[in-house]
Structures are given as structure tokens and as C-alpha cells.
Structure 1
Amino acid sequence: MEFSESRLIPIGERAEISAWESVWSLAPKNTREQLGLSWARSGDGAIALHASGFGWWFFNRVLGIGLTGVGDTLWLDGELDRFEAAGQPYGVSFCSELVPRGFADHLAGRGLRHQNTLAKMIRRSDDLPLRGPDRDIREIGPEDMALFVQTLRQGFGVPATLDDLFATLPGEKGWHCYLGYDKGRPVATGALYHAADTAWLGFGSVVPDSRRSGMHRAMMLFRMQAAAEMGCRWLVTETNRPEGDEPAPSYRNMESLGFTPAYFRPNHIRAA
């Protein structure tokens, strides 16, 4: 698999876009109102996620510009205007291979600056690595949603105001959610969103005092094997691209499990 292999970009982008659109659409009405959740799709396959009541650029961003065309900058500018009106930080994550030359300059003209770069990690589901030491990892349903969101919150350090956003996922169509236990205590989360022949692996977190224990890798491998058993052909996930000598345990774990950085996606951010 080569870097920037163009045929893999639609696989990676559509899987992630579909998963996040599902998260937004499944949010309970009161959560949607509290966080100001909405989303919009462009004619070229992009999505704009809005959370006008929550000040995090990751929840106020555009994905997939140019996915099925050359990039609809008119639609994009309209969504950027909506972000600005809400007064929240926001961002645009784009693939250089999909947008016209000068696109980054267009974003700079709107006040967005490059902050970091995401590595989209993709692999096929065949010839998976063997499982390592046995770990207590379980798929959970709605009855365990409180444990799932509490563990996810500890692992990611996000506020409790997001609990109800993620609590709806266990047991929903397309979603498979998992908890990893250590001596009966939940210490890790992971989710799998299954759409067509692709599985997007997300929400992988480990609580601080259980990191560097091999649990992140074990949760990844467990979901990879689960996706293969569901008939998924492609496995997709993402993490920050390491810069220089900085530690990148997530990136290294993914590489060790056969994922390749199929393409890179810069994040351009504008502060509120």
C-alpha cells in the first residue's frame, strides 16, 4: 500500500464521515439542543459538523471537501460563516489530493491556520495479527452505557456534558462498543462503526493509570478481528501524525498491527 494512494481516500473519508453523521443523528433531542448540534452535507460529499453550544473545534469542523468533485468553496464559505456566527473555534480537515491548488491559501484568507496533521490509517481485514495475551474485552449493550461513557470520559478527559452524546451508541444499528477490563475494572473503550464493507474504528481510550499496559493495542486488535468476522473488507482509523521525535504510541501501535498511513490530512483551525 503506497502513501496517498488515491483509491483509498474515498474509503477512509466516507467511513469517518458516515460514523460522525450517525453520532450527531443519534443524539437525544435535549443533548442536541444543549450542544447546539447540527450538520450539513455538500453536493460533493463533504460534511460540516456544528456544535454551536460547545467550544471545541473538533466538534465544529468540515470533513471531506472535494470527495466527489473539485471542492465546493461556495458551500464551504457558507458553513464557515455559520461557525463564525456561533463564536466557537472551528476547523477544516482536508485531503490535498482532493482540493484545488491554493485551497490552503483560501483557508488562510478566512483566518484558519495549519495546526497539526492527521494520518489516516487503513488496512485490509485479511491476514490479521494473532491475538496476544488474553485480555478481558467485552462488547457491551445499552445496559452498560453508563460504564462506557464514564470510562471514555476518563480516557479522553472530556467533560460530563458529552455523556449523553456517546451513551446512545451501544446497541445502535451499525455500532459495536467495547470495554476493556483490568481485574474487573473498566479501563479502556473502543467502538466500531460498520457500514457496507468498511469498519471505522474510533473512540479508543485508556484511563491514565492503565496506559502503557498494552490495552490500547489489545482493544484495536479485538475490534479488527470483530470487524473481519462481520465481513468488513476494509479497516479504517486515524491518529495524529508524529512530528520529529515526539512519542506516538497510538501511531506505532497501529503500524504494528498492519495499518499503513494511506494519506495525510492537515487540520486548519481558527480560534474563537
Structure 2
Amino acid sequence: MNFDSETAEAEWMYLYGKNAPTALGATVARLSSGVVFHMRYDPIDYWSQAVGFTEPVTADLLDEIVAFYQGLGAQSATLNFAPDLLPPDFAELAAARGLVETGAKMKLGGETAGVKSAVTDLRIEQVTAGDAAEFGEVVATGFGTPGTPLSEMIAASVDAPNSRAFAAWDGDTMVAGGVLLVHGDVGALHSGSTLPAYRNRRAQSALIAARAAAAREAGCRWVITETACPGPDRPNSSYNNMRRAGLDVLYARAVWRWTSES
């Protein structure tokens, strides 16, 4: 498969940054081919990320990214690069800037037409504006951050440009959600989560299928997504759902952490 698997991810991060409420202290900008996002009041220490780069990594690019975070007085950030963009001397470049490898994410993708359907006893539908606030809270709660301004940021994806939100309902109760960002011929599946009491009912498998179908209808040939790398002591149900849906592993992408003390 030969397609851009990074830019669509950067686009949904950019939209989240632009739609983040003031209470989160978010700043987002385009830098070179990617996006740099800083969240000063991040309740889960996740959102300050540099993502989406499509050109080879150089010392100058690393310095620009670090300067962005330093200029905002950031305490930390994570830098993400597809492995084929890293130069042979990247370890030395990273060490010189205090970047430390802290794990990896798995990038997955495939053709929209190849994503498998899934059966669930839950009702799957696209979210409308009237349900946006509930959607944001359900997804945030599934990620372990109920009652935080992250709910408002996620809720904004319901009406954001090129963005479509889908949810699962048990009767009249919304119990899970996920978002699709359409970018050219690539759809990014992101922000999928389920309320703890409703897990193991195939909500996310059905939401993957629904979003892939919507991406195909929007003209996307490909879908991409990412999740933490699983391991013997780190089971990952999201990864399992994606693989069962027919998505292929594209590559593992190292996570490089910068801190202001570097």
C-alpha cells in the first residue's frame, strides 16, 4: 500500500486544537509538513504532540519543533515520525536535543472497501448537532476523563469541516463513539472509546465499519488509524478490533519525548 498515512492524522489533531476550549490552553500550528499541538492544561498528558510529517527528518526540523514548545513554556511534548523518514544518525540527533524514546504506536490502514462489517446489538448512527455535547462526554468518559473540557473539544468534531462523528446507543443511551476525518482520499479513524459498562459488545468494531463506509461514500480509498503497540504484558483491545476489521499494520512509530529539562 502506497499512500500518505500521516497527514490525515495531523489534520484531525489540527481541528481539535482549533476547536479546543480556552480552559485547555491549546495552541496548534502548522510547521513544515506537519502539525505541532500544545495543551497547557491537559488532564491526561497526551495532547502536546508533533505529528504528520511527510519529509525526511533533519536537525533543522527537530530544532524548529523544539523551539515551538520552548516558546510556549511547555513542560513536555511527544514527537512522532514515520520510521522511513528517520536518517541513519537520528539517534545522535535525538540525544543532542534530549529526546527520549518512550514507546511506540502502531499505525494501521487499508482500503475502505476491505473493511469488514461487524454485528452488534447496539444501534449505530451518525451523531447530529443535538447530541454533540453528550457525544463529547461519552467519548471523554471512555478515555477516563469525564467532566473535563476535553468533552467540549471532542464534541466540536460533530460539526467540524470534513469531520463526522458516529455513536452506539443501547436503547436511548449513548454508550460509545468514534470520529472520522476525511482528507482527500484518506479517512482517519480516531477518538474511538466506549463506556466501561458497555465494553465487549462489539461497539468499536461496528463503529470502525460505519466510519469506513462513510469514508468510502465521501470518496476515500483508504482509512488509517493508530493505537498503542500491544505486547505480552500490554493487551490492546483497540488493536485487536482494528485487525479484525481487516486493517493492516503499516509500521510501528516510535514516540520521542521532549521535556523542558532536557
Normalised TM-score (structure 2): 0.89
Distance 2:134 2:43 in 1: 25
Q: Which residue of 1 aligns with 2:139?
A: 152
Distance 1:166 1:184 in 2: 21
Q: Which residue of 2 aligns with 1:264?
A: 252
Distance 1:195 1:26 in 2: 18
Q: 1:240 aligns with which of 204, 228, 234?
A: 228
Helix, strand or coil at the partner of 2:113: coil
Q: Which residue of 2 aligns with 1:81?
A: 67
Q: Give per-residue Cα distances to partners, 1:75-98, cap 9 Å, x unaligned.
A: 432332342452422111112211
Pair 1:195–1:64, CA change in 2 (3 A): closer
Distance 1:230 1:195 in 2: 10
Distance 1:166 1:130 in 2: 25
What amino acid does structure 1 have at the position aligned with 2:93?
Answer: H
Distance 1:214 1:176 in 2: 20
Q: 1:46 aligns with which of 34, 46, 61?
A: 34
Pair 1:173–1:82, CA change in 2 (3 A): closer
Contact 1:175/1:194 (8 A) holds in 2: yes
Distance 1:72 1:55 in 2: 32
Contact 2:98/2:258 (8 A) holds in 1: yes
Distance 1:165 1:128 in 2: 28
Distance 1:115 1:77 in 2: 20
Q: CA deviation at 1:57?
A: 4.6
Pair 1:219–1:130, CA change in 2 (3 A): closer
When the two structures are aligned, how many residues end up with a matched partner? 258
What amino acid does structure 2 have at the position aligned with 1:221?
Answer: A
Higher deviation after alignment, 127-136 or 250-259? 127-136
Contact 2:119/2:206 (8 A) holds in 1: yes
Q: Would you say 1:36 and 2:25 are equivalent positions? A: yes
Helix, strand or coil at the partner of 1:12: coil
Distance 2:151 2:105 in 1: 25
Q: Which residue of 2 aligns with 1:224?
A: 212
Distance 2:91 2:172 in 1: 48
Normalised TM-score (structure 1): 0.86
Q: Which residue of 1 aligns with 2:18?
A: 25
Contact 2:139/2:177 (8 A) holds in 1: yes
Q: 1:130 aligns with which of 117, 123, 136?
A: 117
Helix, strand or coil at the partner of 2:157: coil
Helix, strand or coil at the partner of 2:78: strand
Distance 1:161 1:214 in 2: 28
Q: Which residue of 1 aligns with 2:7?
A: 14
What amino acid does structure 2 have at the position aligned with 1:186?
Answer: M
Gaps of 5+ in 1: 2-6
What amino acid does structure 2 have at the position aligned with 1:73?
Answer: A
Distance 1:17 1:189 in 2: 20
Distance 1:169 1:87 in 2: 26
Gaps of 5+ in 2: none
Q: 2:78 aligns with which of 91, 115, 121?
A: 91
Identity %: 26
